[in-house]
């Protein structure tokens, strides 16, 4: 049995993907779930949100030969020669939350993944192409086995390239963070067809390998819903503009992502909106400074006065989002004892 992988995906940058993975990972672990977070963005922002600089320095030190399996890239690198995937050495964030760190070097793996994509449809030996294309999923599953994880959360970069295609074929559930603006709606129109194409292309490849020598991801990429992020610009823009774009999201999501026809006579219900997240303003830099989720800030961190009410609101917002996600992906809220 594989552990479910959930990816927050949108090919637009600065929408709040990394921040969502960070906060939802923390919240799920507080709720008793065992979580593995994996940083598949070569920018490694999730990794630097979780880990202090002195730890990063050691993880990323090119001269440190003792550490050869501490980032995703280090674990896949032997594939580009004659080796196999390395078992990842994870970082404990709390007793129920472990991170497979990212690494800027991962960018160099993009071309390699891209070259292997057609080979999985070939008639030659399929072992290597499938090993390479499913490598992120294999690493995430190893980390999940090490920690008896209930769920894996993946963070990805803002593009539709080969790294993200590999991340998504290893994804069971997709949550799409969106802002209420024209760019987000346009992006949404590309996102749905891209996910469908990747799903179909992966399924063709899997069908081409009659006797797989190791488990492969299903590549189901089930749309779980979207999270509406309030942008900072929203604070200075007229409420009307925000409402206009926000009102168009349910229909565009249904058409593009769910591939369902819409009718002008049927008003789409907003059932796919998992949460509307506020802009947390000054709590964000305060939390980043101490590498904590916003909802764990204390008076000692500077969350005093009206900030402490905002911290409680953030706790309720992320709790509701985590509950909505668990419900949508059919993971019981009550954790089994491990």
By beta-carbon proximity to ligand ADP, the closer residue of 118 and 285 is 285
By beta-carbon proximity to Mg ion, the closer residue of 48 and 91 is 48
Interface pick for Mg ion out of 45, 91, 135, 256 (rule CB under 5 A): 45
DSSP letter, residue 88:
P
Does residue 48 bind ligand ADP (CB under 6 A)? Answer: no
By beta-carbon proximity to ligand ADP, the closer residue of 21 and 326 is 21
Does residue 18 bind Mg ion (CB under 5 A)? Answer: yes
From the list 114, 36, 23, 31, the residue with the least C-alpha distance to 72 is 36
Interface pick for ligand ADP out of 5, 17, 47, 178 (rule CB under 6 A): 17
The torsion angle over the Cα atoms of residues 142, 146, 149 and 152, rounded to 10 degrees, is -30
Does residue 10 bind Mg ion (CB under 5 A)? Answer: no
**CA–CA distance, 294 with 252 (Å, rounded to integer):** 31
Query: Contacts with ligand ADP: how many residues (CB under 6 A)?
Result: 14
Interface pick for ligand ADP out of 3, 4, 9, 18 (rule CB under 6 A): 18
By beta-carbon proximity to Mg ion, the closer residue of 12 and 165 is 12
Whole-number minimum distance, CB 7 to ligand ADP, in Å? 12
By beta-carbon proximity to Mg ion, the closer residue of 158 and 250 is 158
DSSP letter, residue 243:
H
- Are 50 and 71 in contact, with CB atoms under 8 Å apart? no
Does residue 15 bind ligand ADP (CB under 6 A)? Answer: yes
Region near ligand ADP per CB under 6 A, out of 10-18, 219-227, 250-258, 264-272: 10-18
Instruction: State the first-to-last Cα distance of the chain, in angstroms, to the nearest integer.
Output: 16
Helix axes of 135-146 and 162-169: crossing angle, nearest 10 degrees = 50
By beta-carbon proximity to Mg ion, the closer residue of 27 and 120 is 27
Q: Hunting for tokens 């204390």 — which residue is that? A: 298
**CA–CA distance, 325 with 98 (Å, rounded to integer):** 19
DSSP letter, residue 73:
H
Interface pick for ligand ADP out of 4, 16, 161, 170 (rule CB under 6 A): 16
By beta-carbon proximity to ligand ADP, the closer residue of 9 and 198 is 9
CB burial of 184-223 (b: ≥16 within 10 Å; e: otherwise) equals: bbebbeebbebbeebbebbeebbeeeeeeeeebbbbebeb
Interface pick for ligand ADP out of 19, 71, 166, 256 (rule CB under 6 A): 19
Residue 84's binding partner among Mg ion, ligand ADP, none (Cβ under 5 to 8 angstroms by kind) is none
By beta-carbon proximity to ligand ADP, the closer residue of 17 and 33 is 17
Across-strand partners of 153? 6, 37
Q: 3-state DSSP call for residue 280?
A: coil
222's tokens: 């089930």
Does residue 316 bind ligand ADP (CB under 6 A)? Answer: no
Whole-number minimum distance, CB 43 to ligand ADP, in Å? 8
Interface pick for ligand ADP out of 130, 226, 245, 280 (rule CB under 6 A): 280
Within a 10 A sphere around the Cβ of 336, how many other Cβ atoms? 9
| Residue 292 CA: distances (Å) to CA of 21, 30, 277, 296, 302 | 13, 13, 18, 6, 13
Region near Mg ion per CB under 5 A, out of 45-53, 209-217, 228-236, 323-331: 45-53
**Binding positions for ligand ADP, rule: CB under 6 A:** 13-19, 45, 158, 229, 277, 279-280, 284
**Binding positions for Mg ion, rule: CB under 5 A:** 17-18, 45
């Amino acid at each position: 049995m594989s552990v479910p992988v959930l990816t927050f995906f949108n090919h637009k940058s600065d929408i709040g993907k990394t921040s969502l993975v960070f906060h939802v990972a923390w919240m799920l672990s507080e709720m008793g779930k065992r979580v593995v977070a994996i940083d598949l963005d070569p920018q490694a922002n999730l990794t630097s949100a979780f880990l202090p600089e002195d730890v990063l320095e050691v993880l990323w030190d090119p001269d440190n030969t003792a550490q050869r399996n501490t980032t995703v890239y280090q674990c896949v690198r032997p594939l580009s020669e004659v080796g196999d995937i390395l078992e990842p050495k994870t970082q404990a964030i709390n007793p129920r939350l472990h991170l497979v760190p990212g690494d800027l070097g991962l960018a160099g793996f993009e071309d390699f993944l891209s070259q292997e994509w057609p080979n999985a449809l070939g008639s030659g030996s399929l072992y290597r192409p499938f090993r390479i294309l499913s490598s992120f999923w294999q690493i995430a599953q190893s980390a999940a086995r090490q920690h008896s994880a209930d769920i894996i959360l993946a963070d990805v970069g803002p593009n539709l390239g080969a790294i993200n295609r590999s991340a998504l074929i290893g994804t069971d559930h997709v949550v799409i963070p969106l802002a209420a603006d024209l760019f987000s709606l346009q992006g949404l129109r590309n996102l749905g067809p891209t996910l469908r194409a990747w799903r179909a292309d992966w399924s063709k490849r899997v069908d081409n390998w009659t006797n797989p020598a190791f488990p492969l991801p299903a590549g189901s990429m089930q749309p779980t819903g979207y999270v509406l992020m309030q942008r900072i610009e929203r604070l200075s823009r007229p409420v009307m503009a925000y409402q206009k774009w926000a009102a168009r999201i349910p229909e565009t999501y249904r058409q593009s992502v769910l591939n369902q026809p819409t009718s002008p006579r049927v008003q789409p219900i907003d059932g796919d909106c998992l949460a509307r997240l506020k802009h947390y303003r000054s709590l964000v830099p305060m939390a980043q400074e101490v590498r904590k989720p916003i909802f764990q800030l204390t008076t000692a961190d500077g969350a005093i006065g009206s900030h402490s009410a905002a911290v409680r609101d953030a706790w309720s917002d992320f709790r509701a989002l985590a509950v909505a996600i668990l419900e949508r992906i059919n993971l019981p809220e009550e954790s089994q004892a491990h």
